[in-house]
Amino acid sequence: LADLTDRVAVVTGGARGIGAAYVRALHDAGARVVVADLLEDAGSALAAELGERARFVALDVTDEDRWQEVVADTVEAWGGVDVLVNNAGIANAGPIEHYPRAKWDAVIAVNLTGTYLGCRAVVPAMKAGGGGSIINISSVEGMRGSTHLHGYVASKFGVRGLTKSLAVELGEAGIRVNSVHPGFIDTEMTAKIDPSGLPIPLRRGGRAEDLTGTVLYLAGESSAYVTGAEIVVDGGMIN
Q: Which of residues 107-126 bind ligand NAD (CB under 6 A)?
A: 110, 114
CB count in 10 Å sphere of residue 206: 22
Element (H, E) at 85: strand 83-86
Least spacing, CB of residue 173 vs ligand NAD, in Å: 25
Is residue 162 close enough to count as binding ligand NAD by CB under 6 A?
A: no
Element (H, E) at 10: strand 8-12
Least spacing, CB of residue 133 vs ligand NAD, in Å: 17
Mapping DSSP to helix (H, G, I), strand (E, B) and coil, where does residue 57 land? Answer: strand
Mapping DSSP to helix (H, G, I), strand (E, B) and coil, where does residue 60 land? Answer: coil
Please choose, out of 81-89, 116-124, 165-173, 221-229, the segment that lies near ligand NAD by the rule CB under 6 A.
81-89
Closer residue to ligand NAD in complex, CB, 2/233: 233
Q: Which of residues 15-54 bind ligand NAD (CB under 6 A)?
A: 15-19, 37-39
| Gap between the Cα atoms of 43 and 45, Å rounded | 5
Catalytic residue among 99, 116, 152, 217: 152
Q: Is 152 among the residues known to form the active site?
A: yes
Count CA atoms within 13 Å of residue 222 on its CB side: 11
Element (H, E) at 126: helix 114-128
| Gap between the Cα atoms of 24 and 29, Å rounded | 9
Please choose, out of 46-54, 75-83, 86-94, 213-221, the segment that lies near ligand NAD by the rule CB under 6 A.
86-94
Q: Give the binding site for ligand NAD (CB under 6 A).
A: 12-13, 15-19, 37-39, 59-62, 87-90, 110, 114, 137, 139, 182, 184-185, 187-190
